[in-house]
Amino acid sequence: MLLRLPQTLNARLGGGPPAASASHANPLLDWSVRAFAAGTKAYLLLSNTRSLYSVVLVEVAGETRTQLAERVAGAVEGILDGAGRLAGVGRDLAAESVRFAKALDRSVTGSMNELVAYAELLLADGDLSVPEVGVRLNDLLLSAAAGEGKKYGTPRAAFAALVAGSCS
């Protein structure tokens, strides 16, 4: 699995400068992370790099790269299991197989910034749990999640198309 971290988060986790890396051969195993705060709490936005399908995790103070890799692998495992695509990727989800890299491009970074802004609003209200915020994020219209011939799309639809494409 490929986990893309911004330099600030990577440094906070005790890693050296993240290396550039092309997309993972299996787009279901290429994920980007962005740290953010809402109120007095710290969170992590975990997004599939290709589809921007996202979950929000509570940030753990003092967490290492290995611990983050274990948590992210567990979250991705749950997502892929729910999508029926866990078979065949189990060994690539082991925490020790996680490779770290820097952000892919500005399109992903900009879209993740939009997702973070929306997540901050949803978390500030206090009406939704952290998992519910992730569910709402996946219904946000984004140009980077647009399907072929469309201007905008949702991360949920883009991820469904990605899963369907990986089945063939």
> Mind listing the pLDDT tens digit for each residue in 119-153?
999 999 888 999 999 999 999 999 888 877 889 99
Count of domains observed in the chain: 1
Q: Are 118 and 135 in contact (CB under 8 A)?
A: no
When mean pLDDT is compared over 10-14, 50-54, 121-125, the highest value belongs to: 50-54
pLDDT in tens, 100-122: 999 888 989 999 999 999 999 99
Report the CATH number at residue 92.
3.30.420
Q: How confident is the model at residue 46 (pLDDT cuts 50, 70, 90)?
A: very high
Domain that holds residue 66: 2-167
Predicted local distance difference test score (pLDDT) of residue 30: 96
